[in-house]
Amino acid sequence: MAAKKSTKTAKPVMTDLKGQTLITLRTLKEKNPASLATYEKLGGYQQLKRLITDKVKAIDVINQVKVSGLRGRGGAGFPTGLKWSFMPRYFDGTKYLVCNTDEGEPGTFKDRDIIRYNPHQLIEGMAIAAYTLGAEVGYNYIHGEIWAEYEIFESALAEAREAGYIGKNLFGSNVNFDLYAVHGYGAYICGEETALIESIEGKKGQPRFKPPFPASYGVFGKPTNVNNTESYTSIPWILQHGGQAFADVGVAASGGSKLFSVSGHVEKPGNYEVNMGMPFTELLAMAGGVWKGRKLKAVIPGGPSTAVMHAEAILEATMDYNGLGKAGSSLGAGSMIVMDETTCMVKALKRLSYFFYEESCGQCTPCREGTGWVYRVIKRITDGEGKMEDLDLLADVSNNISGRTICALGDAAATPVLSFIKHFRPEFEYYIQHGKSMVDGK
C-alpha cells in the first residue's frame, strides 16, 4: 500500500444540472450526495433487497439488462446483458465480480465522479450483478492516481457492510457478496480488463491473451465478470424503472444516459450526464460552448483512442454509438476533448502518441516497438527535421501495430495517428516543409 494521502472531501456539483438526465449521478442534487442515508432516501438498495428477498431469477435480471440496451461504458460498448449471459451458471468454486474504475486515458474522468458523488449506487449495482451471476467476491479496481476516491469508496463500503448490504447472508438469505476496493498504481494498461485481473492477482499488469475470456478464466483463473463503473451504476436504475424505460432514455442501439467528460477548449469543462443521442451542438452548448468565443476546430469524441473529427463532421453528429460511428469515429468512454482553432494538430498528436508510448506495457512486439517509433518520428517532425515520407511511414507503422497486438492498446495507439494525419494532413505537411507549426507559427 502506498502512503496514504489526505482525504479530500467531496466538492459540490460543478456542472449546471439543467438538461442533464441524472441516472448514474442521481444523488447529485442532494446535500450529502455520497452518503448512505442520501442514497437510501432515493430508494437505494431497494432493488437489491427485492431481488434477493423475492428470489428473482437471474435470467429475468439479465433480460431486463438486455432490454435496457445498456452497453459497456468503458469504451468498447459491448452489450452488458449479453456479457452477463456468458458467465457460467454452474461452477464448482468461487466466481468473481470486478469493477473497472481504472480510467486512465487522458480526458477521462467520469468514473471518478460516480465514486465521488454516488458510490452506493455502484455498490448496489455490483451487488445486483453478483447476485445475478452467482459471484461471491467482488473487487473494485480504482485507478492509482485518484486516491481520494479510493478512500471515499472504502468508507462507502464500510457503511454498506455495516448496513448489511454487502457481506454474508444478505437480507437473511444465503446470498453472500464480499466486496473489496483495490487501488492500482496508475498504469493505463491496467484498465485493460485482463491486465487489471493480473494486477488484482498481485502480478505485473499486462494483458492476457484472449480467449480464454474472463468469463471462463478471470481472477485467480475463476469465472469473472468485468464491467465498467458507469455500467454497474446504471443497473439499480434499470431494475427500478425497467429495462424499457432505460432504453427509452436513449436512442436505437444506445440505451440510457451517458456521462460525457467534456474537456479542452470549452467554457465549462466537466461531466455531463445526458440522454444518448443528444446532438453534439447541444452538449457543447451545455458546456458553455468553445471558450473565448473561438471557432471549433476538432473534437476527439470518446477519448484519445477514438478517431479525431473535423468540426464540420462532429457538428452534424449525435452523441451515441451509431451517431458517432456513422460520423467516422466512436463513442468510446465519452471523453470528449474539444479543440479550438488555435490548436496545432501536430503537437497535439505528439502529446497523444507520447502517452501511448509511455503506457504500452511492452509485452508484445508491435506495440512495444511501434509506439516508440511513432512518437520519435512525430517528435522529429516537431523538431523541424521531418521528411515528407514520414507521413506515409507513420500511417504504415500505425497500421502495422493495429490489429496485431494482444490487447486493444495497439489499436488505441494507432487510431489517433491515422485519424490526425487523415483529417489534418496539410498541417503535417506544412510542419515538415517549414519546420514550424501552421497554426502558431512556432
State the CB neighbour count (10 A cutoff) for residue 412: 28
Q: Does 194 bind another protein (CB under 8 A)?
A: no
* Options 241, 294, 380, 436; binder of another protein; rule CB under 8 A: 380
| Contact criterion met (CB below 8 Å) for 425 and 394 | no
Q: Single out the segment in contact with another protein by CB under 8 A; choices: 69-77, 257-265, 294-302, 362-370.
A: 362-370
Residue closer to another protein by CB (options 30, 369) is 369
80, 261, 329, 405: which one binds another protein (CB under 8 A): 405
Which of 30, 136, 369, 429 touches another protein by CB under 8 A?
Answer: 369
Specify the stretch interacting with another protein by CB under 8 A; choose among 13-21, 81-89, 106-114, 396-404: 396-404
Strands (E), 301-393: 309-310, 318-319, 335-340
* 93 versus 293: smaller Cβ distance to another protein: 93
Residue 289 region by backbone torsions, left for phi larger than 0, else alpha for psi between -120 and 50, else beta: left
**Smallest distance from the beta carbon of 111 to another protein, in angstroms?**
22
Q: Which is nearer to another protein, 288 or 372 (CB)?
A: 372
Task: Provide the minimum distance between the beta carbon of 220 and another protein in the complex, in angstroms, as a whole number.
Answer: 15
One-letter amino acid at 223 equals P
CB count in 10 Å sphere of residue 10: 18
376 belongs to the binding site for another protein (CB under 8 A)? yes
Tell me which of 164, 288, 325, 362 binds another protein, using CB under 8 A.
362
Our CB check for another protein shows the closer of 359 and 427 to be 359
Binders of another protein among 245-304, rule CB under 8 A? none
Task: For the CB of residue 365, give the shortest distance to another protein in the complex, in Å.
Answer: 5
3-class secondary structure, 277 = coil
Is 358 a binder of another protein (CB under 8 A)?
yes
> Which strands sit side by side in the sheet containing 335-340, from one edge to the other?
270-275, 257-264, 335-340, 296-300, 309-310
CB atoms within 10 A of CB 307: 22
Residues 6+ apart with CB under 8 A from 412: 105, 304, 305, 356
Query: Is residue 195 within the footprint of another protein (CB under 8 A)?
Result: no
Give the total of residues touching another protein (CB under 8 A): 30
Pick 275 or 405: Cβ nearer another protein: 405
Region class of 69: left (phi > 0), else alpha (psi between -120 and 50), else beta: left
3-state helix/strand/coil string of 104-129: CCCCCCHHHHHHHHCHHHHHHHHHHH
Nearest approach in angstroms of CB 219 to another protein is: 19
CB count within 10 Å of CB 35 equals 18
**Nearest distance in Å: CB 92, another protein:** 12
- What's the Cα-to-Cα distance from 365 to each of 93, 145, 202, 212, 328, rounded to whole Å? 36, 28, 24, 21, 28
Interface residue with another protein, options 86, 91, 185, 209 (CB under 8 A):
209
Binding residues for another protein, per CB under 8 A? 187, 189, 204, 209, 357-373, 376-377, 380, 393, 400, 403-406
